[in-house]
Structure formats: C-alpha cells, structure tokens
C-alpha cells in the first residue's frame, strides 16, 4: 500500500501533532506519514516536536504580509514543495481565506474543542463553564469557508463533572488525542468518504457526523 501523507498546521503546543506521531509509532504504521508541518508561529512547541521527529516544517509570520489572502497565498506557494493527501488543522488558530479553502477543497479537516455546531470559535471551555453545559467534547470536521461550519465527520463527548478550566481542557485533549488519529486513519483507509458533500463512513451516510465513544 502506498503511503498516505498528511500536512499538519498548528499554532502552539502541538500535543495533537504529537498524538499523530505517537499513534503512528505505537501501531508501527508506515502507511501514514506526516509530510510537512506548518506554523504561523516560529516559536510553537509543535515546531520543536516536528524537528525532534525529523518531520519537514516551515513557518511564516503573518505580520510580514499585508492581508490574510497574501499570507495564505504564500503558504499555498510553499506547500507546492510537499506532497500530501490530507491537510489537518490541529490547533491552527487562524481563519483560512476562501482562496485557501477552495485550493484544497474537501481535503482539509479541522479539530475543534467543542461539540459543534455548539460553540464555534474561541474560548469554548469558558463557554461550557458559563452556560453550565452537561456535556463537552471535541469534533473533527471538513473545512469550508465558514467558521467551524463544515461537514462534521466525528465527535466524542463526556459528561462535565467539574466546571474547572484546566480539567476541561485536559479532558478535551484526552479525547482529541484519540479522535484525531482515528479519523485520519479512517480517511487514509478510505473508510471515510466525502463525495459531492455527502459523508459516508464504512458505506453509511452520516449527515451530522458519527459519535465515537472512547
């Protein structure tokens, strides 16, 4: 089987990049490769993780560009040097331009720390606390030009017992570290398909994504 390549975009810690690296190692999976890591932050810990694991990476500073479009154009240009089947936003804290999304249409997935469509955007844990939500979780979805609005692929939830920011963040991360590698692997194995905007998982249609219980 030829190897399936992913590009990972991140802005900070990169624990989700680490989970992809670790899952690949644990499963001894040579069929999934991270061909490039990109960050808008040259000091991101995720970049250090890429370096330590000999994964090619590049960074660009948005402040050096006049517009979101110009910045994204520069990324598109750099990405021409790398081969990838899937682009994974794993803690990438920037909104993509329409041109960028169109260029890689239906090839970009995003990991989001809430049960979408509830709480798109930032500060999701704070909102859970504020609204005393019973459930919290994480979602992986295809990216369209809206803010966290693309087709939901899968999600996983837990019951909130402790309305504490650190513990919520930690629990969401625990879920994410299972959900993201699983979904990448299902896409790699062609078990998840997104054709003509219709999502199927193992041949069954899921218009609102599939729940994964860990």
For the annotated catalytic residues, the residue numbers are 112
CB of 136 to ligand GAR, least distance (A): 11
The closest residue (CB) to ligand GAR is 91
Q: Does 90 bind ligand GAR (CB under 6 A)?
A: yes
Choices 1-9, 11-19, 30-38, 184-192; region in contact with ligand GAR by CB under 6 A: 11-19
In the complex, what is the shortest distance from the CB of residue 123 to ligand GAR, in angstroms, rounded to a whole number?
9
In the complex, minimum distance from the CB of residue 62 to ligand GAR, in angstroms, rounded to a whole number: 16
Q: Which of 15, 33, 53, 149 binds ligand GAR (CB under 6 A)?
A: 15
Taking CB under 6 A as the rule, does residue 13 contact ligand GAR? yes
| Minimum gap (Å) between residue 82 Cβ and ligand GAR | 20
Place of tokens 């992809």: 20
> Is residue 14 part of the contact set for ligand GAR (CB under 6 A)?
yes
Q: What is the largest CA-CA distance in the chain?
A: 48
**Using CB under 6 A, which of the segments 6-14, 55-63, 101-109, 199-207 binds ligand GAR?**
6-14
> What distance in Å separates the CA atoms of residue 3 and residue 16, rounded to the nearest whole number?
20
Task: Residue 45: name the closest of 13, 75, 76 by CA.
Answer: 13
For residue 54, the minimal CB distance to ligand GAR (Å) is 19
Three-state secondary structure along the chain? CCCEEEEEEECCCCHHHHHHHHHHHHCCCCCEEEEEEEECCCCCHHHHHHHHCCCCEEECCHHHCCCHHHHHHHHHHHHCCCCCCEEEECCCCCCCCHHHHHHCCCCEEEEECCCCCCCCCCCHHHHHHHCCCCEEEEEEEECCCCCCCCCEEEEEEEECCCCCHHHHHHHHHHHHHHHHHHHHHHHHCCCEEEECCEEEECCEECCCCEECCC
Site for ligand GAR in 50-89 (CB under 6 A): none
Q: Is 141 in the site for ligand GAR (CB under 6 A)?
A: no
Residue 176 is a binding residue for ligand GAR (CB under 6 A): yes
> For ligand GAR, which stretch binds (CB under 6 A), given 31-39, 105-113, 129-137, 191-199?
105-113
Residues forming the site for ligand GAR (CB under 6 A): 10, 12-16, 46, 90-91, 93, 111-113, 138, 172-173, 176
């Amino acid at each position: 089987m030829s190897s399936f390549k992913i590009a990972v975009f991140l802005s900070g810690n990169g624990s989700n990049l680490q989970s992809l690296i670790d899952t690949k190692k644990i499963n001894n999976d040579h069929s999934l490769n991270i061909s490039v890591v990109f960050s808008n932050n040259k000091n991101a810990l995720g970049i250090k993780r890429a370096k330590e694991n000999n994964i090619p990476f590049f960074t660009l500073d948005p402040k050096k560009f006049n517009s979101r479009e110009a910045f994204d154009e520069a990324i598109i240009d750099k990405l021409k040097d790398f081969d990838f089947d899937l682009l994974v936003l794993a803690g990438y804290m920037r909104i993509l331009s329409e041109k960028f999304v169109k260029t890689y249409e239906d090839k970009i997935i995003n990991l989001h720390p809430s049960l979408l469509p509830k709480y798109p955007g930032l500060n999701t844990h704070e909102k859970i606390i504020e609204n005393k939500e019973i459930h919290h979780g994480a979602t992986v979805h295809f990216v369209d030009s809206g803010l966290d609005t693309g087709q939901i692929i899968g999600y996983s939830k837990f019951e909130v017992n402790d309305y504490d920011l650190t513990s919520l963040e930690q629990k969401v991360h625990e879920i994410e570290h299972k959900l993201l590698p699983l979904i990448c692997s299902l896409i790699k194995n062609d078990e998840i398909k997104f054709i003509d905007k219709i999502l199927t998982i193992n041949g069954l249609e899921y218009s609102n994504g599939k729940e994964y219980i860990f």
